[in-house]
Structure formats: structure tokens, C-alpha cells
Homo-oligomer: A and B are copies of this chain.
């Protein structure tokens, strides 16, 4: 019998690749996405398609309205998404987002009796978000060992971050090797209604440069070339 794993699935390139890696490692995959009233809510449609195409055991989409907290260009419409590159941590950083997402993943894993959680964080070609750094993930791993019923029964929940040390070009090559359908993914923070990417935000730029550096044709439709 396969071991169950919870996969955080945003609908972007990294999480789609992470799902493909978990499946290649023979996990029975449960995808978890969030409708957090993000500016690029259209990514949830991408997540749905990716989850369905990959025949995950379940795809849970949780409603947690982070505009109730705000503090980010992605959760407060009065803050603009900046053009890339920016100085320091960009305003697209959402306060404590990965901690919130991983907390729900922990709860979901616990109810499934799953011992594994996959998250596609990356600390090479990334926006400098504090909650993508290896030391942050290590601290969450340490918390996960103590936070649940399983921890009292001395079982261990493991946080997997298969992309953390990979460049975007390496991630794209890995995705193609595993036949992940990157044309279904949406990375842009401000796509238009038809899902076309802006081409100028940090997430678009990281994606564009990744395809370029990998020497692979980018299937993404960008508004700005």
C-alpha cells in the first residue's frame, strides 16, 4: 500500500513539479490549495486542472480569506504588484503565508494519517520571502514533530522540499523529465481574465528566465514580451 502525502498545490510551476516528484516517489497524493482571496485567484483553476490530470486521491481547496489580514500586494488591492526587480523583500510577500499553509497541511495530514507533506519552496531563483528559506523549513519540521496527535504517539511528520536547492532552470528540466504539464501552470501574480501572464512581475520574470536558462521554449502566453 502506498504511503499518503499532502501536496501543497498553488497551480504554479513549482508546485506542479513537486506533485510530479511526489508521484514519482510512489506516494498516494492528496492535493491542498487555498482560496485566500489572492489577486491571482485564477491560479486555483490551474491547480484544479493539474490535480485532475494527475488523478490525485483528493483535491481540497480551503477558503481562508487573507484580505482580513492584508499587508501584501496579493491580498490588498490598494498595494500594486511591483515590476521586477525590486529591492529587499517585495510587497508581494504575504505575511506568514507558508506558516499558515503548512499549518493547514499538518491538520489535513493528521486527519488522513499521512506522515508526509510536500511543499515546492525554492531558495535559489526566488523572491527572497523569509518563509522559503531552508532554516525556516527546518524550524517548521521541528515544530511538526511536536504539534500533532501523531507526535505524542511518536510518529513523525516529514516536510519534503524537493526543489529547495534547485535553480528555476533545473526545476523546469525536472518537470519535463517527469512529464509535468507546465503549460497548465500559472505563475503570474496579475494575469488577465483569460489567464495571460503579465510578463513583468517577479514571478513572471523568474519563470521566463528559468525557461531561457534551461534552453526550453516557454509555453506561457505573456501580455508583455
Contacts and interface: CB of A to CB of B under 8 A. Distances in A.
- In the A-B complex, list the 4 residue pairs whose CB atoms are closest, starting with the nearest: A71-B111, A96-B107, A95-B110, A95-B107
12 contacts: A71-B110, A94-B107, A95-B108, A95-B149, A96-B107, A96-B148, A103-B103, A130-B146, A130-B152, A131-B147, A136-B143, A139-B145
Interface string A126-150: 0010110101100110110111110
Given A69-B111, A95-B110, A104-B100, A149 B136 contact: no
B103 A130 contact: no
Interface stretch (A60-68, A170-178, A211-219): A60-68
Interface string A91-120: 001111111101110111011000000000
Q: Is chain A's binding surface mostly helix, strand, loop or mixed?
A: helix
A93 B146 contact: no
Work out how many copies of this chain go into the complex. Answer: 2
Contacts of A139: 139, 142-143, 145-147
Contacts of A128: 152
Contacts of A147: 96, 98-99, 130-131, 136, 139
Given A89-B149, A103-B103, A136-B143, 19 more contacts: A63-B68, A70-B111, A71-B111, A89-B152, A95-B108, A95-B110, A95-B148, A96-B104, A96-B110, A96-B147, A97-B107, A99-B107, A100-B100, A100-B104, A100-B107, A128-B152, A133-B146, A139-B139, A139-B147
A159 to B, nearest CB: 12
A77 interface: no
A151 interface: yes
Contacts of A136: 143, 146-147
Contact of A149 (B60, B63, B108, B130): B130
A140 B108 CA distance: 19
A149 B129 CA distance: 8
